[in-house]
Amino acid sequence: KAGVTQTPRYLIKTRGQQVTLSCSPISGHRSVSWYQQTPGQGLQFLFEYFSETQRNKGNFPGRFSGRQFSNSRSEMNVSTLELGDSALYLCASTDDRGPYEQYFGPGTRLTVT
């Protein structure tokens, strides 16, 4: 099976802009989670979508949002970008029927200038 794919792999945006990142899970996986990774804060959970519904949510401001489509592909959106949003954004998918390990995609490296 193909792994988790994320597009784009690299992105440069300016403060105040918005950005949309895309994630395609492993075929058959219905759960997609998003994480932000920075050198200072480490790997932090953003949110998880399952069957097109947000099932779990982290402690990020409302500027961070997401959605999931009927084919389980997911997008996350960050509005009004800030310099501190520069990070590696990782998505992960899991087979909700178990085992429960999450399979991570290669990530999108976002730089905000």
Distance between CA atoms of 32 and 45, rounded to whole angstroms?
A: 11
Q: Is 45 exposed, middle or buried (0-12, 13-18, 19+ CB in 10 A)?
A: middle
104 lies in the binding site for another protein (CB under 8 A): yes
| Alpha-carbon gap, residue 50 to 70, rounded angstroms | 10
Cα–Cα distance measured from residue 23 to residue 21, given in angstroms and rounded to the nearest whole number: 7
CB of 19 to another protein, least distance (A): 20
Q: Does 107 participate in binding another protein (rule CB under 8 A)?
A: yes
Q: How far is the CB of 104 from another protein (least distance, A)?
A: 4
Is 100 among the residues that bind another protein (CB under 8 A)?
A: yes
Contact status: 50 vs another protein (CB under 8 A): yes
Does 10 contact another protein by CB under 8 A? Answer: no
Could you say which of 34, 35, 64, 89 contacts another protein (CB under 8 A)? Answer: 35
